[in-house]
Amino acid sequence: MALAPLELRAMSNLPVDVHMLGRIAYTDALTWQHNAASAVASEDHPDMVAVLEHPPVYTVGARGKKNHLLVSEESLLAKGADVIETNRGGDITFHGPGQLVLYSIMNLRRRGIGAIEYIHRLETAVIHTLSSMQLAGQAVKGRPGVWIGHRKISAIGVSIQRGITMHGLALNIDPDLQWFDAIVPCGLHGLGVTSIARETGTAPDTDAITTTVLEAIAHEFNTELRSETSSQRPHHDH
């Protein structure tokens, strides 16, 4: 099915604040998400998206299995990568330099969106982004994320509690794909991992790709994205 042009979808009155967090440790980003989720749970606080990159880290989701980690945790620590259990959906995955991460903190009840539709919109935003580079990304039923053939280019894992989302998507722009050799990515045997750099054979423009992803997110959620400074942190009243 052809994708509709981005400019055709009407704007909603529920803006999203975008926080550019830069490179940030996974645990620090998780703290940011918990604070953001508490804030967004209040009816008068806008939804938030964090744009960031992690130092090397393997995260094990709620349905993850440690036997999908193919080497010892000690060997990964020696290479400078942490291994952290987290509450997002999905199995084990890798985050690191060269990968664009977006954590989306949204009040789905306020937007009238269900969990399946939410994940579909994240996938579609990535597919739009890839199509702008003449890459044919696709969503595969039962395998959240975006694929090029049998190679995953974007992981999507979320948690939703009381209608508030956490976690989000990771798009491989130009990471060192050898990091993925240490795991069964997302617990799916026999499938590969790829990146925009590998698929295009060129050095991607990370800033341009980030802008395109955000524009696609704005389109999929019928919303206006508002820039916030990286130093700003969400706050909420107790």
Per-residue model confidence (pLDDT) at position 60: 81
**2 Cβ contact list (under 8 Å, min separation 6):** none
30, 106, 139, 186: which one is catalytic?
186
Q: Say how far apart CA 219 and CA 9 lie, in whole Å.
A: 6
Tell me what pLDDT residue 90 has: 67
CATH 3.30.930.10 fits 14-224, yes or no: yes
Tell me what pLDDT residue 8 has. 39
pLDDT tens track of the chain, all 238 residues?
A: 334 444 434 446 789 999 999 999 999 999 999 999 999 998 789 999 999 999 999 988 765 556 678 888 888 889 999 988 877 766 788 999 999 999 999 999 999 999 999 999 999 999 999 999 999 999 998 888 999 999 999 999 999 999 999 999 999 999 999 999 888 765 566 678 999 999 999 999 999 999 999 999 999 999 999 997 544 455 444 3
Question: Is residue 167 a contact partner of residue 157, using CB atoms and an 8 Å limit?
Answer: yes
Q: Which helix (H) or strand (E) holds 164?
A: strand 164-172
- Output the pLDDT for position 113: 94
Looking up tokens 């969106």 gives 113
6 tagged catalytic: no
Q: Give the pLDDT confidence score for residue 235 in this predicted structure.
A: 47
What pLDDT sits at residue 141?
87
Domain layout of the chain by residue ranges: 14-224
**C-alpha to C-alpha distances, 44 to 5, 14, 15, 34, 166, nearest whole angstrom:** 31, 10, 11, 17, 18
What pTM was computed for the model?
A: 0.87
Those residues with Cβ within 8 angstroms of residue 102's Cβ, 6 or more apart along the chain or in another chain: 49, 50, 51, 52, 168, 169, 170, 171, 213, 217
Report helix angle 115-131 to 206-220, nearest 10. Answer: 140
66, 67, 68, 74: CA torsion to nearest 10:
70
Strand order in the sheet with 82-85: 82-85, 57-60, 92-95
CA–CA dist 76, 68 (Å, integer):
14
